[in-house]
Amino acid sequence: MKSDKKPIYKRILLKMSGEALLGVQEHGIDAEICATFAQQVKEVRSLGVKTAMVVGGGNIFRGQVESKRFGLDRSVADYMGMLATVLNGLALQNALEQIGVPTRVMTAIEMSAIAEPYIRRRALRHLEKDRVVIFVAGTGNPYFTTDTAAALRATELGTDVILKATKVDGVYSADPIKEPSAKKYQSLKFIDVLNQNLKVMDSTAISMCMDNNLPIVVFNLLRKGNIRRVVLGEKIGTMVKS
């Protein structure tokens, strides 16, 4: 689809939850969702937008939840969750490269046989070379979520925005599936997200974005073309900013 509009962002970081890769499945990775997401990323890249990604691992293993469920030590459970993000990152890399998009997977936990170690200067170089960079293994530390990893990498790389891809079309006052009367917010301030405990990203990530004046757009990933619409400045989802 051709458009006379120009992107309002030059460099973006896409934050994708592991749950978004489930599709209609209860567990694992939906190949069709991966392929659809890869196509959307290709469209954005064709606009000249430098694209980085952080992916979660909740479709495979959630450290904080599973540590309570199975009595695992929290640190051990979090490291297992980090490994789940690597699986998702490799699946996304494969989907992107199948349609001709060059990628690099960079990991916060060294595993040289399958991914590059995260080095900021190298990541910046990949973006300059127009490669899509997929960050996995969170921050490499337990007790930190992939939301915080997204805020950290976006800040380090000087991205213009974090695009938080979810299953709903923005931020609501309550879960819109459980409460149909929940109010959707068109825009929010960071401090309101913290004060109202709205489930946008975890409080550490929100605080980091607030401190660095880094806006977040929360939008529905499952509607085809939404990433492109956000990048072109269409008013979809919810904007969170200072």
The dihedrals phi and psi of 183, each to the nearest 5 degrees, come to -85, 135
Cα angle, residue 120 at apex, residues 117 and 121 outer, rounded to 5°: 110
pLDDT digits (tens, 9 = 90+) for 31-48: 998 999 999 999 999 999
Residue pair 124/106 in contact by the 8 Å Cβ criterion = no
- Confidence (pLDDT) at 2: 53
Give dist(CA 38, CA 126) in Å, integer: 18
Domain 11-241 has CATH 2.40.37.10: no
Q: What is the DSSP letter of 146?
A: H
Tell me if 166 sits within 8 A of 22, measured CB to CB: no
Q: What is the pLDDT of residues 46-87, one digit of tens each?
A: 999 999 999 999 888 876 777 777 788 999 999 999 999 999
**Where exactly are the structural domains of the chain?**
11-241
Residues of the chain below pLDDT 70: 1-3, 63
Report the pLDDT value the prediction gives residue 19, as an integer from 0 to 100: 86
Q: What pTM, to 2 d.p., does this model score? A: 0.92
Q: What pLDDT was estimated at residue 188?
A: 96
Whether the CB-CB separation of 89 and 134 falls below 8 Å is answered with yes
